[in-house]
Structure 1
Amino acid sequence: MTEIRTPRLVLRRWLDDDLAPLSEIQADPAVTENIDDGRPYSLERTAEQIEVWEEEWDEEGFGMFAVELLGSGELAGAVGLSVAHAPGEVAGQVAIGWRLGRAFWGQGYASEAAHATLEFALQDRGLDRVVAVCRTGDRASVNVLGKLGMRAESTARHPVHGHEVTVFGIDLTQYEA
């Protein structure tokens, strides 16, 4: 079982007990406004998503981690890697992404978890490049991406949802652990 510990967090695979707290996090419109179509997730949609994430772990050797607070064991959200499907210019590349409950915003958890995930991708999994697809105007995510050393490379229109996205990228030669 893949697990990463940071000073304040545990990044780990998904457990059955994670469904209810993640569903509560993803039912918050503020959490989902910059994800996919922006609509909150139902319990069923969250369960399907965890299943897809776990399948990706089994097939690819990476996926979305559950983000747990080290001290309390509370689920803060998700961070991890997935194979990008859109926009077309990054389809098939490995993308980093995250979502944390609103109670965990502004405390550096997203940056801490994302940094550990990027290190995992480039050093442990041997990837040469990682991308991120961010809804244009999502300042909080852009801030985290900047802390990771990722740079904006292009903009595109999301082929399914129609909103503008910015593509960020970093390769192994640009990465500073």
Structure 2
Amino acid sequence: MTEIRTPRLLLRRWTDDDLVPLSEINADPDVMRWIGDGSTRGLDATAEDIERWEEEWDDEGFGIFAVELLGSGELIGAVGLSVCEYLPDAPGDIEITWRLGRPFWGQGYASEAAHATLEFALQDRGVDRVVAVNRVGNTDSENVIRKLGLVADRATTDPRHGHAVQIHVIDLTEYEA
């Protein structure tokens, strides 16, 4: 089982016990504001997300981690990797993404988990290049992207929802520099 420990977090595969806490995170309009069309997600949609993420782990050898606090074991969100299939400008790129519950914002957890995930992708899984797709205006995620060392590559539109997005990129040689 793939797990990553950081000073404060455990990144791990999903369990049945994660469904309710993640669905509570997904039910928060502030959390979901920048994700997809901005709609909240209920229990069934959250279960579908977890199932899809676990299938990607099985198919690709990477995926979206459940993120919990080491001290309490509390699920605080999801951070990980997926194959970017929804953007014609990034076909087959490996995308890093994160979603944390609102009580955990502003404490460096997203950066800590995303940094560990980026290192996992580039050094453990042999991924040569990672992208982050950020909806224009989402300055909090843009700050995390900048801390990770990804640089703006190109602007495009998410064809599913019509939102302007910026694609940021880092490759292995840039990461090691």
Q: 2:116 maps to what in 1?
A: 116
Please report the TM-score for the alignment, with normalisation by the length of structure 2. Answer: 0.98
**Mapping of residues 72-87 of structure 1, within 5 Å:** 72-87=72-87
SS in structure 2 at match of 1:39:
coil
Query: Displacement, 1:86?
Result: 2.7
Q: Does 1:15 align with 2:15?
A: yes
Q: Distance in 1 between matches of 2:155 and 2:86?
A: 12
1:131 aligns with 2:131: yes
Give secondary structure in 1 for the equivalent of 2:174.
coil
* Matching residue of 1:164: 164
- Aligned equivalents of 1:8, 1:121: Cα separation in 2: 20
Q: Deviation per CA, 1:1-44: give whole Å up to 9, x if none.
A: 00000000000000000000000001000001111111001110
Question: What is the CA distance between 1:89 and its match in structure 2?
Answer: 1.4
Aligned to 1:140: 140
Partner of 1:34: 34
2:98 corresponds to: 98
The secondary structure found in structure 1 opposite 2:89 is helix
Secondary structure at the residue paired with 1:106? coil
Q: TM-score, normalised by structure 1?
A: 0.98
Amino acid in the other structure paired with 2:73:
G
Aligned alpha-carbon RMSD (Å) = 0.9
**4+ runs deviating over 6 angstroms:** none
What are the Cα deviations for residues 56-97 of structure 1, in whole angstroms up to 9, with x where unaligned? Answer: 000000000000000000000000000001321112110000
1: CA distance, partners of 2:119 / 2:160? 30
Q: Percent identity?
A: 68
Correspondences of 1:53-64 after superposition (within 5 Å): 53-64=53-64
SS of alignment partner, residue 41 of structure 1: coil
Shift of 1:176: 4.1
CA distance in 1 between partners of 2:139 and 2:160 (Å): 22
Q: 1:2, 1:11 → 2: CA distance?
A: 8
Q: Distance in 2 between matches of 1:37 and 1:11?
A: 27
Within 2, Cα distance between the matches of 1:174 and 1:113?
A: 19
1:51 positional shift: 0.1
Aligned to 1:4: 4
Q: Which sections of structure 2, spanning at least 5 residues, go unmatched?
A: none
Structure 1 regions of 5+ residues with no counterpart? none
Q: Which amino acid aligns with 1:156?
A: T
2:24 is matched with which residue?
24
Count of residue pairs the alignment pairs up: 177
AA at the equivalent of 1:125: R
